Structure 1
Amino acid sequence: MAPSGVASEADLLTRAVGDLATRTGLPVAFGGYEQSGAIDVTSVVGNRTGHLSTLVVEPTRGLGGRAFVERRPRLALDYRSSRNITHDYDRAVLGEGIATLFAVPVLVAGLPRGVLYCGSWAQTAFGEQTARAALQVAADLATELRVNDEVSRRVSRLAPAAPAPGLDAASREELREAYAELRRIGAEVADAGIRRRLEAIEERLATLSHDRAEPEAALDVRLSPRETDVLACAALGQTNAEIAAHLTLREGTVKSYLQAAMAKLDAATRHAAVTKARRAGLLP
């Protein structure tokens, strides 16, 4: 089960399959994750029969099985006559009336997690724009799964400390590392919707370790995204050079962001800036 505030993998898949149909303009889309050594299709949109809803695809078999093991998209312009795939799943695919089918693996950290499919009932040309749209949907889903993995891993480590009035030092450090990593991932994401969901998780992490026994700081401070990124790394004790490497920035740029954050927080040192940011709820 996904942590509170984080979409479940099933919800992410359902949303991705819907996006796939919308963004490619193709009438039918479906997909599933690898479960017990096979791809279990659990989400379908645009279907006219129930054939696809119970589809289980073995690796190397069919169009999706090849895409999964080869870790690259596969296209069958004329699925019925294609000689490049096995036809183990003709009953489901042809039973649905699909003529052209495109399968895209969902790769998380380079490893296949599942497959997304989109297709049409009539044989149709498959342009570059359609392929790009499908690949982007798969990439967006992979990013969200990667974030879920990171959040779940961190939350599971923090779970034993949850019933206590506050987090212990080790748990606080783990939480702060998670926050900094999510900030780094978010900076790599182009999709605005995914960035907003990441920001919501970051806000929850920023307040999770806040000591409510401390008086709330009367600060009306607005840090830029990069100022927050740099300060989050500084909170982990990283040097300017280490922050630059982590965020793929120039060391001089890191210094400028850090100085700007310190000025906004009216802090003479980076340590003081981190302390004030935490008290203001800007950092965990």
Structure 2
Amino acid sequence: MSTQFASVGELVADGVRELSRRTRFPVAFGGLIEDGEVSVTTIVGNRTHHLDGLHVRPERGLGGRAMIELRPRMTNDYRTSQQITHDYDVFVLGEGLRTLLALPIVVDGRPRGVLYGGAWEQSRIGGVTAAPAMAVADRIATELRVRDEVERRLREAAPPPPALNTRQREELRESFAELRSIASGLADESLRARIAAVEQRLMEFTSPAPRPASAVEPAVHLSPRELDVLACVAVGSTNSEIAAQLGLREGTVKAYLGSAMGKLDASTRLAAVAHARRAGLLP
């Protein structure tokens, strides 16, 4: 199976241009869902720049309604429509659009994006226009479905990462504990999120191979502080050393450790670390 695909951005751009060619809509635009909302990445036929930067959330506006209902939605008088929210009036009315058609891109029952066709005048949209527009959305959905399947097969066929030797594993665990300690003292949420992303990449080096569903233990949820303390325990730190590293009282450290041990059903510090590693909470 070939994996030489155009980028998803090019796929959407081609779809928007095809929508414009195959229908009577003078304006066409669309995009895929990124971080929970559709980012409009391609616009053709527009007279102004008002549609630039449009991001559409599910349930909001005509496109959001189309995503939730998983079917095309249309209005031939956008300004006065009472069937949609008007979160995006500054974009749509700024361009002067009156007629608007929104087509969800649906893959395996989930919305993945939206295509729009728009006109500056009021017009009725019949099957002659709607059918080819829906065909464009379906083509993009099919392409995305194929990409998803190829990526799934590639992941399954990928060789496991090379095993770490004992020294490398200990260095990785010490680095993880140090990152937890640094992040615990930061007020900047964006910086903490970046550190968390690095921690996740470190975890991937030591993640165990997937086990059968019958062997998977119930999910354990540790608080950030409980995980901070346990990460320090994992590299051999004492309670007093952990208190100094995290800026806590020693009694507070003991409380967090006791809570973590209870959640992990562990009777000792070392057992708690072992259970946390099996649960994928520590490297």
- TM-score (structure 2 length as normaliser): 0.54
What does 1:67-86 correspond to in 2, within 5 Å?
Answer: 67-86=66-85
In structure 2, the partner of 1:105 is 104
In structure 2, the partner of 1:48 is 47
Q: Give the Cα separation in 1 of the matches to 2:108 and 2:28.
A: 24
Shift of 1:130: 0.5
Given residue 43 of structure 1, which amino acid in structure 2 is its aligned partner? T
Given residue 14 of structure 1, which amino acid in structure 2 is its aligned partner? A
In structure 1, the partner of 2:35 is 36
In structure 2, the partner of 1:123 is 122
**Equivalent pairs, count:** 159
Given residue 11 of structure 1, which amino acid in structure 2 is its aligned partner? E
Gaps of 5+ in 2: 161-283
User: CA offsets, 1:106-134, max 9 Å, x none?
Assistant: 00011110111001111112111111111
Gaps of 5+ in 1: 162-284
Contact 2:3 2:150 in 1 (8 A): no
In structure 1, the partner of 2:247 is none
In structure 2, the partner of 1:143 is 142
Given residue 142 of structure 1, which amino acid in structure 2 is its aligned partner? A
- Asked if 1:15 corresponds to 2:50, the answer is no
CA RMSD of aligned residues (A): 1.5
Contact 2:29 2:44 in 1 (8 A): yes
SS of the residue 1:47 aligns to = coil
Shift of 1:154: 1.6
Q: Give the Cα separation in 1 of the matches to 2:36 and 2:5.
A: 26
Shift of 1:36: 1.4
Contact 2:29 2:42 in 1 (8 A): yes
User: CA offsets, 1:224-246, max 9 Å, x none?
Assistant: xxxxxxxxxxxxxxxxxxxxxxx
In structure 1, the partner of 2:89 is 90
Given residue 85 of structure 2, which amino acid in structure 1 is its aligned partner? T
Q: Give the Cα separation in 2 of the matches to 1:72 and 1:123.
A: 21
Q: Give the Cα separation in 2 of the matches to 1:45 and 1:160.
A: 43
Given residue 71 of structure 1, which amino acid in structure 2 is its aligned partner? L
Q: Give the Cα separation in 1 of the matches to 2:57 and 2:110.
A: 16
Contact 2:15 2:137 in 1 (8 A): yes
SS of the residue 1:131 aligns to = helix
- TM-score (structure 1 length as normaliser): 0.54
In structure 1, the partner of 2:165 is none
Shift of 1:98: 0.6
Shift of 1:4: 4.9
SS of the residue 2:51 aligns to = helix
In structure 1, the partner of 2:62 is 63
